[in-house]
A and B are shown apart, each in its own frame.
Chain A
Amino acid sequence: EAGVTQFPSHSVIEKGQTVTLRCDPISGHDNLYWYRRVMGKEIKFLLHFVKESKQDESGMPNNRFLAERTGGTYSTLKVQPAELEDSGVYFCASSRLLAGVPRPDTQYFGPGTRLTVL
């Protein structure tokens, strides 16, 4: 079974440019999450999709970040325009949707995209 994949692995862009990160979850996983780790800090939640719907986007820093999951499969996270403080590693994770189970299932993480904004 293929794991969570992310593309690109690294991206270096100039301040003000646009970058789009892609995440392909594990097949059959309806839950998809984005997290970010800024250097030296903890990994922080950005948002959660259930299928194609945004369930929780409380962690999105501001409206320069736009996440989509059309068709409920892969997801993209666009940063436009990028700022210096957006640099970090962006992780995607996925998990199964467990009906009737009062706890979340284990999240499986991708390798991350390292974004550097110059």
Chain B
Amino acid sequence: AQSVTQPDIHITVSEGASLELRCNYSYGATPYLFWYVQSPGQGLQLLLKYFSGDTLVQGIKGFEAEFKRSQSSFNLRKPSVHWSDAAEYFCADGSSGTYKYIFGTGTRLKVLA
């Protein structure tokens, strides 16, 4: 069955440090991959998406993600984390051939001052 794995449930980084959140997807067809962020009290906000083309995609808030087919990964990165980045991050796969997204379990990011 199609699945998305986010291996890290919690990550803590210091403000200014770099960040990488991992995501692995299982579906073999053309990937439609997304990263969403949910800040406390807020809804899910789209950070970035990958449909095709350049495997390094840029998103909002200084985030980027790299699609690696050989590793079935779509990891999210940010070179310097800000305290306001503390939130929960979700990777999603929309490749099922239907319209539904398959989500990972989320990674909760804590930022130390």
Contacts and interface: CB of A to CB of B under 8 A. Distances in A.
Contact of B43 (A4, A33, A48): A4
Contacts of A111: 41-43
A104 B44 contact: no
A33 B103 contact: no
B contact patch SS: loop
Given A104-B32, A106-B34, A42 B99 contact: no
B43 to A, nearest CB: 4
Contact of B36 (A40, A109, A110): A109
Interface in B15-56: 30, 32, 34, 36, 41-46, 49, 51
A56 interface: yes
A41 B105 contact: yes
User: Which 5 pairs of residues, A with B, have the shortest CB-CB distance?
Assistant: A111-B43, A109-B44, A45-B100, A43-B103, A42-B105
Interface of B: 4, 30, 32, 34, 36, 41-46, 49, 51, 90, 92, 94, 98-106
